[in-house]
Amino acid sequence: MMLARVADSLYWIGRYVERAEHLCRISDVMLTATLDDSEAAATVAHIAMAAMEDREDLAPGQLPMDAVRSLLFDREDLSSVVNSLARARENARQVRDQITTEIWERLNMLYLRITHPNAEYEFSQASTAYLHGVIADLHLFKGSTDSTMSHGQGWRFLLLGVHLERAQRIARLLDVCFGDPSAPEALTEHLAQMAVLRMACALEPYLRVYTAEINPLFVLQFLLFDEDFPRSIRFSTSRIEDYLDRLAPHASVQNRAGPERLAGRLKARLEFADLDETLAPGAILSGVVAECSRIHDAIYETFIDYPLEQRLHA
């Protein structure tokens, strides 16, 4: 049993935390790649900026460093990392009674660090180290969530947020790279292929499966379909389905297009899709993004924002 508002907040903590991590990682890869002045570097910068929704390509003469700085610290920019963390923390504050002290302190500390007056200076001194620090802290947050919080309803809502955000973000990244087969820059450079794997934190796991033979099709296949890699879309959708399956029997009204049904359908679609289909990956990727939004809406209708008359004296 859990307040609907609390479930809502936990879900958004998951989404914002995942978003912050994803943005930091993409920024980090972009900063490293653009140290070289090459064609591949330009491709990577393009992919990075496009994968972060509603962002323009780097303007001529704009330094990647400045783009990342504003992505991290700009309070005016609603999708900046600092705002994601601030919102995650604000949501955590609203459900402070529902999360453990360990979880709260991790998140609070992250927020205090990124809003510290010295933060921008630290970043400008050692940008990669700074981004790695934030990502490592986010991992600590997730670790304490995993190891101190009961793996019950609240935890499932939090992880639902994480995996929905993750599936959508990775789908977006892949869509930028593979969605339009006619686009010429599509991942011919070895360096760019490596960079995309890094953006999904997938390089090492990929190498273990496919060895150092990197080709675009394998990259796509790995990030879409790998069963065990925690950032593949298939992995996330299967988590989403699992959490919703466990949550759904608690909701007293079974509506027909319940979120668990949508999630099951998405999971099945990814399970039975095969390589031929992935030759036209644009459709499947935009399908994933659209299905995730539908699941999000269904979660709201079922658990959070349901009409009262439905639940009175059922």
Partner 1 sequence: MQASRSLDGVDRFRVVESSEGRSSPDFYRPDRFYDEMFAADGSVRSHYAALHARVASLTPAELAERQRTLEQSFLLQGITFTVYGAENTTERIIPTDLLPRIIPSQEWSRIEAGLIQRVRALNAFLADIYGEQKILADGVVPRELVLGAPSYRREMRGLYVPHNTYVNVCGSDLIRDDKGEFAVLEDNLRVPSGVSYMLANRDAAKRTFPGTYRAAGVRPVERYPDLLLATLKSLAAEWRPNPQVVVMTPGVYNSAYYEHAYLARLMGTPLVEGRDLVVHENLVYMRTTEGLRRVDVIYRRVDDDFIDPLTFRRDSGLGVAGLFNAYRAGNVVIANAPGTGVADDKAVYAYVPEIIRYYLSEDAILPNIETFLCREPAQLSYVLANLDKLVVKAVGASGGYGMLVGPHATQAERDDFADRLKADPCNYIAQPTIQLSTAPCLVDGAIEARHVDLRPFVLAGQKIVVTPGALTRVALKRGSLVVNSSQGGGSKDTWVLAEGDHA
Residues near partner 1 (CB under 8 A) are 1-7, 90, 93-98, 101, 104-105, 108-109, 112-113, 116, 118-119, 122, 129-130, 133, 153, 157, 247, 250-253, 303-304, 306, 308, 311-312, 314
- In the complex with partner 1, the residue whose CB is nearer, 122 or 297, is 122
Quick one: 55 or 93, whose CB is closer to partner 1?
Answer: 93
Work out how close the CB of 269 gets to partner 1 at its nearest, in angstroms, rounded to a whole number. 27
Distance, CA of 128 to CA of 112 (rounded, Å):
19
Shortest approach of partner 1 to residue 118 CB, angstroms?
6
Min dist CB 166 to partner 1, Å, is 22
Contacts of 178 (CB under 8 A, 6+ apart): 186, 187, 216, 220, 281, 282, 285
Which amino acid makes up residue 48?
A: A
Half-sphere CA count of 154, side-chain side, radius 13 A: 21
Answer for the pair 233, 167: CB distance below 8 angstroms, yes or no.
yes
3-state secondary structure of 300: helix
Does residue 192 contact residue 47 with C-beta atoms inside 8 Å? yes
Q: In the complex with partner 1, which residue's Cβ is closer, 46 or 132?
A: 132
Minimum CB distance to partner 1, residue 48 (Å): 23
Q: In the complex, what is the shortest distance from the CB of residue 76 to partner 1, in angstroms, rounded to a whole number?
A: 12
* C-beta closer to partner 1: residue 116 or 139: 116
Complex with partner 1: residue 186 or 251, whichever CB lies closer = 251
Residue 65 burial by Cβ neighbours in a 10 Å radius (0-12, 13-18, 19+)? middle
Smallest separation (angstroms) from partner 1 to the CB of 17: 17
Q: Which is nearer to partner 1, 104 or 225 (CB)?
A: 104
φ, ψ dihedrals at 181, nearest 5°? -65, -20
CA distance readout (Å), 111 to 76, 89, 157, 259:
16, 7, 22, 32
Q: How far is the CB of 22 from partner 1 (least distance, A)?
A: 20
The residue among 123 and 225 lying less far from partner 1, judged by its C-beta, is: 123
Question: Is 142 in contact with 159 (CB distance < 8 Å)?
Answer: no
Whether 252 and 311 have beta carbons less than 8 Å apart is answered as yes
